[in-house]
Amino acid sequence: MKKYFVLALLLLAGPVYADMPTPKPAVNPALAAFQDNLDDPQLIELGRKGRVHMVFGYDYSNWTIIEGDDGLIVVDSGWFVERTQQAISDYRAATGTKKPVKAVILTHMHSDHIAGIQGLFADGKVEGVDIYAHTDWQRQVAYDTNSGDMLIRRGMAQMGFLLPYKDVAAGTYGAGIGRGALQGGTLSATFPPTHTVDVSAATGPVKHTIAGIPVEFHYAPSDIDAQLMVWLPEDKVILVGDAIGGTLPYVITPRHEPERKPESFLYTFDQILSLDAQDMVPGHGRPVRGRNDLEAIIRSNHEVIAFLHEQVRGYVGRGYNADQIIDELELPPRLANNPDLQPRYHTLDWLIRGLYTNEAGWVQNVNSLTQHSASEQARRLSLLIGEDKLLQAAAGAIETKDYRWAVSLAQLLLDANPDNARARQLQIAGLRGVAYTTESAAERNYALTEVGAIAGAFNWDNVITRVSARQWAVRDAAAAFELFGERFRSAPAYGKSLAVTFNVAAEGAFSFRVNDGTLHYERGALEKADAVIDIDLATMRKVGSRELTLAEALEQPSTKITQDDGRAALEFAALIR
């Protein structure tokens, strides 16, 4: 794949200008050194009894194996089946144990913590094993699926999922909080928990004994709300999920997860410090050994989040916008120089922007309320300044290694004219320059993924369909029909009035009314419908994942149009993207 990816980057559409400045391929040395430490697979023994092993460096996230009296307890399971298989094989070889996996505890439902689960079992069958998760586990699964194209696009860009690994010119150099994604790796299906843990701030911990080992489940909201922390009181080891990541805290994320709040992280840090833990397994980042190290990590993370949260709130109260805060707000040197708080994943600017949005929404200043659209402003600025001058300025910025300014100027030109080939190549050069110099693995990944998309190294529509097909394998018909509103083509429906009912065996009836450019959805059959369509669940899942358009779904042998006033069914299908 790597060869074809790089070739695609060389075959960019449009002419290649002889005077085009080209940044020299590189990786920021600090990022490279940091990431190399995360790419070193190790089984790390923790705790007082020698029965807890942290699985570090095998995958994007950390996970844990605990040897119980009659079986193994596994907390989280990594992202890729192949890497989980390797880790459990190495563990058995190192310890000599043949005990079966008796229980799997999922701290939360992010894919990088659950999708390796089938790799724990020699035959890949997840059977006869207890699976524990938070009682609200489905909330994250639903969010991931309902966020659809946006979350897939941003998530895969952020993780460098589509980039060749450690290719200096065109590739990811990891993710900043763990080993890079495994190209072509296998993801398990989602296995529902057999035991849900109803724990919250109001309930206090929930205690179990699993495989002879006392286990306490604590509520640990952080990057998502429905998250468990696992406390092993006999071993003095705390497994904190994604509360800690070994980097500048990801209290917000560019891919957007609305549950992330500073208060949640701070609450969880207080819970960690209240326990007599001596060792800690973070969801990402290095192992934490000894009480002194644990307290230093937790207190520094607490301090930097509280500082940023309070400072941003203060600036907002004084009327600052996000850019003005970025211009002024700095971390105290003691925090800025802390090796466990470096911006290897998210940048400080990103955190400030996200925290600002949490506090103040999208309005930056009065111009946010009065301005023209970005494309209209760009068109006017291009006419005012001159396209050639803007192109020269962007090229000059690349020559002086002011890559971020080059990207901004190129974007302005492209907002004015998306077909400006020279601006597009300057944008690519600027993005490469940012990628080659940034300390943030995620910023490098976003920049080079955008370059790859421009170059045609991959097609987002195909990627999204492939990824979402796995999610849709377990979804119901209602979930697919609920997407019709966002896929509805409004303008072609001006002046139209249509009423359509879909019948799905064992799922029920689902109806839509088109009314002069708007779409109205309701459960149940309509008394008077222009078209009635019998369609099966498997076909609707393919519509949900975009493997089929609705028009193509109507042509499937299993689909029957049992009533149609003229061509109403096809007319309706043409209105759904």
243 located within any domain: no
Q: pLDDT by residue (tens digit) across 25-80? A: 999 999 999 999 999 999 999 998 999 999 999 999 999 999 999 999 999 999 99
Q: Which residue, 257, 227, 230, 254, is CA-closest to 242?
A: 227
Q: What is the DSSP string of 513-546?
A: EEETTEEEEEES--SS-SEEEE--HHHHHHHHTT
CA 479 to chain centre: 21
567 located within any domain: yes
- In the chain, which residues have pLDDT < 70? 1-19
Question: Distance (Å, rounded) from C-alpha 466 to C-alpha 480?
Answer: 16
352 located within any domain: no
399 located within any domain: no
CB 489 within 8 A of CB 576: yes
Question: Distance (Å, rounded) from C-alpha 173 to C-alpha 166?
Answer: 5
Q: Which residue, 283, 280, 309, 314, is CA-closest to 294?
A: 280
176 located within any domain: no
Q: pLDDT by residue (tens digit) across 300-311? A: 999 999 999 999
The CATH number given to whatever domain includes residue 511 is 3.30.1050.10
93 located within any domain: no
484 located within any domain: yes
Sign of CA dihedral 550, 556, 558, 561: positive
CB 561 within 8 A of CB 532: yes
Q: What is the DSSP string of 151-216?
A: HHHHHHHHHTTTSPBT-TTTSB---SSSSPP-TT---PPPPPPSEEE---TTT--EEEEETTEEEE
What is the domain range of residue 549? 475-573
Q: Which residue, 433, 440, 442, 465, is CA-closest to 548?
A: 465
CB 221 within 8 A of CB 258: no
233 located within any domain: no
How many folded domains does the chain comprise?
1
Q: The whole model's pTM is what?
A: 0.91
- pLDDT value, residue 19: 63
Q: Burial of 15 by CB count in 10 Å (0-12 exposed, 13-18 middle, 19+ buried)? A: exposed
